[in-house]
Amino acid sequence: MKTGKQRALNVLQNILLIVYAIFALFPLIWMVLISFKSDTEVFTTTFVFNPTLANYQEVLLRSDYGRYILDSVIVSGGAVLVSIIVGVPAAYALARYNFPRKEDLAFQILSYKFAPEILVVLPLFMIYQKIGLYDSYVGLIWVYQLISLPLLIWVVRGYFEDISVEIEYAAQVDGYSWYQIFFKMLVPLIKPGLVSSALLAFIFAWNSFTFPLILSSNNVYPVTVAIMKYLGTDSAHYGQLAVASTVSALPAVIFALCIQKHLVRGLSFGAVKG
């Protein structure tokens, strides 16, 4: 039986959590509400209004919004894919092999995350203009590695370090080649870390604003930059803006829901022990 004191504590705890949830979620709810309002009602109503789908029609059917989303998917997805292909072997090497200045290298990779994007984006802009990467998918995918690669390498490295090297030896003795060992024995073991860090990297890349704003224009138009289009010079279509934001938040939410069982455990597991 719970004592009265415990129960009171419990209630208090729940109240605090509810308050926090409202605090955290309310902007999102507000955004969704606005997306169903007409421009005239945006400022005059809160919860009671005449819901309309006009904003959705305008944004999804009568503008290039689909293309922007697709650009974002290509650039962010591509960035994460490249990070996985490059980062997993790199993480393995950092975890398993000893080579001169290994820790320096690992730290340098991490240091890519330190500098604010705005600091590097101007020189990058000039370099990109010169070598013809400006406003191209490859260019953005490349620069997104600054965001996604360090995260992936550091999380996955921790996972590799947790796997005892004898497991690899045992598999060798069992008659497996290195590639078979890697894909059959090691990849399943690092999967939680790989999946969760890849998702985080995807979200960071998706939300990236400074890089696409400056390093791309008409050919490649990720959704974060595109949303600005709905802020006109003379008028702001808050309804359409809300729709654009809502829809752009969806992919990350959907991905996160799909793999949420890996997510919390995945990020803490390797990291804490590593």
Partner 1 sequence: MARIQLENVKKAFGKVQALDGITIDVKDKEFFVLFGPAGAGKTTILNCIAGIAMPEEGAVKFDGENVNLTDSAHRNVAMVFENYALYPQMTVYDNMASALRSKLYKTDEAEIEKRIQWAAKTMKMENLLERLPSQLSNGQKQRVAMGRALVRTPNVFLMDEPLAHLDAKLRNSMRTELKEMQANLGSTCIYVTHDFMEAMALGDRIAIINKGRIVQIGTGDEIYYMPCNEFTAQLMGEPQINIVNAVISEMDGSLIATINVNGNNIALKLPEDERVYQKIKESNLTNVDIGLRPQNVKYSFEPKEGYFKSSVYSYESIGNKSVIVAECADDQLRMIAPNGLSVGIDSDIYLYFELDRAIIFDANTKEYIVRYDEQSFIDLAASMEEK
Give the binding site for partner 1 (CB under 8 A). 164, 166-167, 169-177, 180, 185, 188-189
Place of tokens 């000893």: 98
> What is the greatest pairwise CA distance in the chain?
73
Please choose, from the candidates 262, 138, 143, the residue with its C-alpha nearest in 3D space to the C-alpha of residue 199.
Answer: 262
Q: How far is the CB of 93 from partner 1 (least distance, A)?
A: 19
Rounded distance between C-alpha atoms, residue 119 and residue 124, angstroms: 10
33 vs 189, beta carbon nearer partner 1: 189
Whichever of 100 and 175 has its CB closer to partner 1, that residue is 175
Q: How near is the Cβ of 152 to partner 1 at its closest, in Å? A: 21
Q: 189 vs 249, which CB is nearer to partner 1?
A: 189
Helix/strand/coil for 236: strand
Beta carbon of residue 170, minimum distance to partner 1 (angstroms, whole number): 4
Sign, CA dihedral 262-264-265-268, equals positive
Which residue, 21 or 170, is less far from partner 1 as judged by CB? 170
Supply 77's token pair: 């997805």
The β-bridge partners of 236 are 231
Min CB(185)–partner 1 separation in Å: 6
Of 138 and 170, CB closest to partner 1 = 170
CB of 187 to partner 1, least distance (A): 10
Reported as type and span, the H/E element at residue 185 is: none
197 touches 155 (CB < 8 A): yes
